[in-house]
Amino acid sequence: MDFEHIPVLLTETIELLDCKEDGIYVDCTVGGGGHAVEIADKLTTDGTLIGIDQDLAAIEAAKESLSNAECKVELVRDNYKNIDRVLNRFGIDSVDGLLFDLGFSSHQIDTAQRGFSYQYEAPLDMRMDQRASRTAADLVNDLSQSELTDIIAEYGEEKWASRIAEFIVRYRQDKPFKLTTELVETIKAAIPAGARRSGPHPAKRTFQALRIAVNNELEVLTKTLDKIVPLLKSGGRMAFITFHSLEDRIVKHKFKELAQDCICPPDFPVCACDEEAEVEIITKKPITAQQKEIDDNPRARSAKLRAAEKL
């Protein structure tokens, strides 16, 4: 199967990264290499591009798409939360740019057997890293009703979360969940018919919630944001493309915190905290896709791009 994925906000992202031809850049979610190829294009033989992805299929696809790059290319199958270790392995202390194009690729969702999609019958899997031990089936079979409610409500922003969790627990009393379709039918049974008639597919939010939980996406993002600024050279840039409000909120708040000079309470007469801003936010408002891009690639509709520069 070809690796089908249209890179989102490509021109805007490359512009914001403002690549130096001899710089070191890390695409932390390299996927099929859509953004990485454009970054590599800006680099000469003195430049380096490191691509990280936890999904083997992505690394194989990126190898292919970057095969003609002039710059040095290193591809690493790992979780981006280990970026410090990855750089260490190549003897690199700091880099000129970091890109995070978060979430899943079209390839992942379109590969039925990966179990990301509510549209195909497949094992209920959803692991981006196929070496990870815990699948979506493990979560729906093992978590308590209240844990499931919390996950579906928080990560899926699903108002029917507690009913869905209740129906999941009732279903699994007979037999464990194995397939996506079993979960889809359970969700449909839990959401009243009237509420199901409008809006997105009834399983969309629950599937999003489980995918986030299986891959620990928000915790990984938060912990990575906490440690990446020292990995950037002064003047180096980091860009994040997010696809839902939970991710965007995490990036937005961390950028704000990193860009803050003084964190003393407003009624302090003089600064006593000695805090200094570490970055300058380049995108005062997140960049979103133009209508033309959304028409060509509906996935771009929810994309938000934020970038900051290390001071």
Ligand X SMILES: C[S@@+](CC[C@H](N)C(=O)[O-])C[C@H]1O[C@@H](n2cnc3c(N)ncnc32)[C@H](O)[C@@H]1O
Known binding residues are 33-35, 53, 80, 101, 108
Token representation of residue 73: 């290319």
Least Å distance between CB 263 and ligand X? 29
**Comparison of 99 and 187: residue with beta carbon closer to ligand X:** 99
Work out which of 58, 73, 152, 184 binds ligand X, going by CB under 6 A. 58
Strand partners, 310: 279
- 221: Cβ–Cβ under 8 A, 6 or more apart, which residues? 100, 102, 247, 250, 251
What single letter denotes the amino acid at residue 11? T
Residue of 14, 16, 35, 247 that binds ligand X (CB under 6 A):
35
At a CB cut-off of 8 Å and minimum separation 6, what does 2 contact?
Answer: none
299 binds ligand X (CB under 6 A): no
Question: Which of these, 122, 119, 98, 55, lies nearest to 228 by C-alpha position?
Answer: 98
| 10 within 8 A of 33, measured Cβ to Cβ | no
- 33 is a contact residue toward ligand X (CB under 6 A): yes
Give the residue, chosen from 12, 49, 76, 80, that forms a contact with ligand X under the rule CB under 6 A.
80
Part of the chain binding ligand X (CB under 6 A), chosen from 43-51, 96-104, 179-187, 197-205: 96-104
- Contact criterion met (CB below 8 Å) for 25 and 97: yes
Please report how close the Cβ of residue 38 comes to ligand X at its closest, in angstroms.
9
Residue 219's contacts (CB-CB under 8 Å, 6 or more residues apart) are: none
| Residue in 55, 96, 125, 247 binding ligand X, rule: CB under 6 A | 55
Binding mask 98-137 for ligand X (x = CB under 6 A): ---x-xxx----------------------x---------
Span from 50-58, 169-177, 190-198, 274-282 in contact with ligand X (CB under 6 A): 50-58
186 contacts: CB under 8 Å, gap ≥ 6 = 164, 167, 168, 171, 177
Specify binding-site residues for S-adenosyl-L-methionine: 33-35, 53, 80, 101, 108
Task: Give the shortest CB-122-to-ligand X separation in angstroms.
Answer: 17
Query: Contact 40/22 with Cβ under 8 angstroms?
Result: no
Q: How far is the CB of 145 from ligand X (least distance, A)?
A: 28
Pairing state of beta strands 95-101 and 232-242? parallel
> Rule CB under 6 A: is residue 156 a binding residue for ligand X?
no
Note the residues at the interface with ligand X (CB under 6 A). 5, 7, 29, 31-35, 52-55, 58, 79-81, 101, 103-105, 128, 220
